[in-house]
């Protein structure tokens, strides 16, 4: 759950950091702003970090960022924290690095959405095919005993109509189950954006 929340919010955090720091706000103030809410689990992490820094129960911003890297589940969040840590310890150009990370993450997100859309494209046709053709075939199978009861019934031994009804009803239930599983498969592939 944490990983999904991080993946969902990290791009927005990166864009917010970019805007804030480009307008002259320092890293610590930007972390405080993000920690004040609106970014899910990342806001909670930043708020806790700033709280520990204010209380003096921390060794500083660098060690706090380093410890948060171990807690991060998503790769994008870990990269962001590493960039912030590098800026604190080596005074690098964080704005340009964050912009590049944001662009990269945006491209990755766009690719995952396009892949999801492509995979999802065949689901309606499959559901329609199963949902329409299956009952038609089963209805024809259910009519076979009535069609074959005359002279053709003498050439072939047909099962009792109760068996045919069970097969038709079982087939309809199996069709519904198949449609449910296809829908579930499409839902579980959701990129969660």
Rg (CA), the chain: 29
Tens-digit pLDDT profile for residues 47-100: 988 888 888 877 888 888 888 888 888 888 899 989 888 888 887 888 888 999
pTM: 0.66
| Residue ranges per structural domain of the chain | 2-115, 122-188
Tens-digit pLDDT profile for residues 110-133: 888 888 787 777 777 777 888 888
Share of the chain above pLDDT 90, in %: 7
CA distance 35 to 176: 47
Which residues fall within 8 angstroms of residue 10, CB to CB, at 6 or more apart? 42, 74, 76, 77, 80, 105
Q: 36: which 2 tokens?
A: 């004040």
Between residues 115 and 186, the one the model is more confident about: 115
Quick one: average pLDDT of 33-60?
86
């Amino acid at each position: 759950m944490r990983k999904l929340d991080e993946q969902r919010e990290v791009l927005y955090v990166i864009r917010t950091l970019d805007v804030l720091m480009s307008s002259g706000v320092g890293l610590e103030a930007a972390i405080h702003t993000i920690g004040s809410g609106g970014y899910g689990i990342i806001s909670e992490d930043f708020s806790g970090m700033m709280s520990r820094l204010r209380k003096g129960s921390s060794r500083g911003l660098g060690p706090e960022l380093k410890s948060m890297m171990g807690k991060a589940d998503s790769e994008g969040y870990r990269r962001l924290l590493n960039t912030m840590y590098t800026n604190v310890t080596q005074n690098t150009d964080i704005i340009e690095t964050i912009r590049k990370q944001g662009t990269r993450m945006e491209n990755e997100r766009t690719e995952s959405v396009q892949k999801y859309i492509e995979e999802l494209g065949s689901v309606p046709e499959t559901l329609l095919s199963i949902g329409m053709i299956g009952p038609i075939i089963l209805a024809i199978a259910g009519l076979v005993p009535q069609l074959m009861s005359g002279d053709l019934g003498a050439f072939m031994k047909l099962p009792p109509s109760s068996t045919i009804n069970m097969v038709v009803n079982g087939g309809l239930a199996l069709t519904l189950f198949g449609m449910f599983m296809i829908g579930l498969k499409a839902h579980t592939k959701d990129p969660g954006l």
